[in-house]
Amino acid sequence: MPTYNVTQFYFGQYADLDPTEAGSSPNLNNDTNELTTVPGWVANKLFTSANMRLLTVTQNDTVREGNSTRLEENDFKNRVAGQGGPMGADSFTYDLGNGKITSDIDSVFTWNIEVTRGNGTTFRQVLAFVQLENGAIFSNFTPENFSGQNIQSIKLIAHSSSGFFGTLANRNLPNVKIVCFEESVRIATPSGSVAVGQLEVGDEVITKDSGVRPIRWVGRKHLGPAELRGNPQLLPVRISAGALGAGLPEADLIVSAQHRVLVTSRIASRLFSSEGVLVAAKHLLDLPGVTVEHLDQITYVHFAFDQHEIVYAEGAPAESFYPGATGLSALDDEAQAEMMALFPALARGEEEIPGARRLLTGKEGRDLARRHRKNGVSLLSLS
């Protein structure tokens, strides 16, 4: 059985685009999917580092139908002898961070897509996608236009075709990186979710404790390949969709390692006698779905209010910028001066600005994460 280890894009799990298989309908061959779109997989859907990732995928070519370079859909499992079947289906094996997953190929289809490179240039191309029986959708792109490229985003433009029984194996995207820019995280505002990179001083944001509040300060810090290679502690943390519990975050959330998220479980309440605590993302790495993201470059965007607040990033409660010693040390001189002007107590050397919730130390945060993992309790649960 040939296997091929390749790198391709993973776009998440969706409803079945091909719910009726061959041999079970008047169209015995079923060479076209019944659906071209399903909720979340539609024209103009934009994928960035927040909701797509590059994964190493093992393509398991188990069906030997005479074409040794083709991966077969599960339509072959339902064919009767007169149709040349049944022959089984080929499968993908991959790992999202919680252990290996193997699922058979359900369908292959193509879309016209628009790809934005890291330098802002774009190109359009009709390329292939694969959906597995568990709903996961992967690219099966050819390496042309991708090899060695930084990719900022992929947008679905229009469905092209789904008249396939399989797709070619062993397509690999070497040395491709997804780069994270400020627009990859959406913040809740009175007018809906807004990309954090579009927020400006004076814009209003929904906070957990204080209702709608205007932004007083916005800062940006870009880190390139050399800085990230030399300072791995600056790499961001990816919090996968749903990893915090209660379906949150709604999409993968990429934050700096020091950025804190709110934990509201009863475990946290019992340990700290508090209605929620704030824990740095890097102290949650022991939990499923929380991983260091090895990006080639990133732009971190921070914003602050008159006081420390909890906002909603991809639907999940997370802190606004906190001007403590760690946060200030990450700012350049100009940004630090802006902070001193905004919070005069900092310039006077008075005690730090009060936190919106108790700010856990590294040991406290790691211990809390381990307790949640041991007990199978999510961070935003009430048990």
CATH of residue 286 = 2.170.16.10
Among 119, 143, 178, residue at a domain's last position: 178
pTM score of the predicted model: 0.57
Query: In this structure, are 133 and 188 located in the same domain?
Result: no
Q: Which of 212, 183, 223, 213 lies closest to 199 in space, CA to CA?
A: 183
CB 189 within 8 A of CB 20: no
Distance CA 201, CA 314 (A): 20
Query: In this structure, are 116 and 259 located in the same domain?
Result: no
How crowded is the C-beta side of 309, counted as CA atoms within 13 Å? 22
Q: Are strands 122-132 and 310-313 parallel, antiparallel or unpaired?
A: unpaired
The pLDDT tens digits for 74-99 are 766 666 555 556 667 889 999 987 88
Percentages helix, strand, coil for the chain, rounded to the nearest 5? Answer: 15, 35, 45
Average pLDDT value over all residues in the chain: 85
In a domain, 382, yes or no: no
Among 132, 156, 178, residue at a domain's last position: 178
In a domain, 68, yes or no: yes
In a domain, 265, yes or no: yes
Query: In this structure, are 190 and 172 located in the same domain?
Result: no
The pLDDT tens digits for 253-288 are 989 888 999 999 999 999 998 889 999 999 999 999
Which residues span the domain enclosing 63? 3-178
Among 162, 178, 194, residue at a domain's last position: 178
> What does the chain come to in residues?
383
Contacts of 340 (CB under 8 A, 6+ apart): 346, 347
Query: In this structure, are 166 and 186 located in the same domain?
Result: no
Query: In this structure, are 159 and 301 located in the same domain?
Result: no
Residue 100 burial (C-beta neighbours within 10 Å; 0-12, 13-18, 19+):
exposed
- Sequential DSSP letters for 164-210: -SEEES----TT-EEPB-GGGSEEEETTEEEEGGG--TT-EEEETTT
In a domain, 93, yes or no: yes
Query: In this structure, are 279 and 324 located in the same domain?
Result: yes
In a domain, 300, yes or no: yes
User: Is the pLDDT score of 319 beyond 90?
Assistant: yes
Q: What is the mean pLDDT of residues 13-35?
A: 72
Structure tokens at 156: 């679905």
Q: Distances in Å between the alpha carbon of 313 and those of 125, 145, 183, 208, 270?
A: 32, 32, 12, 12, 26
* Vertex 131: Cα angle to 125 and 137 (nearest 5): 70
Contacts of 42 (CB under 8 A, 6+ apart): 156
In a domain, 247, yes or no: yes
Query: In this structure, are 11 and 84 located in the same domain?
Result: yes
- Range name among 26-35, 38-47, 210-219, 267-276 with the lowest pLDDT average: 26-35
Query: In this structure, are 284 and 197 located in the same domain?
Result: yes
In the chain, the number of structural domains is 2
- Among residues of the chain, what percentage have pLDDT more than 70? 83
Query: In this structure, are 81 and 187 located in the same domain?
Result: no
In a domain, 21, yes or no: yes
Query: In this structure, are 146 and 165 located in the same domain?
Result: yes
In a domain, 168, yes or no: yes
Query: In this structure, are 337 and 239 located in the same domain?
Result: yes
What pLDDT does 270 receive? Answer: 92
Distance CA 183, CA 190 (A): 18
- Range name among 88-92, 209-213, 305-309 with the lowest pLDDT average: 88-92
Distance CA 317, CA 291 (A): 18
Query: In this structure, are 118 and 201 located in the same domain?
Result: no
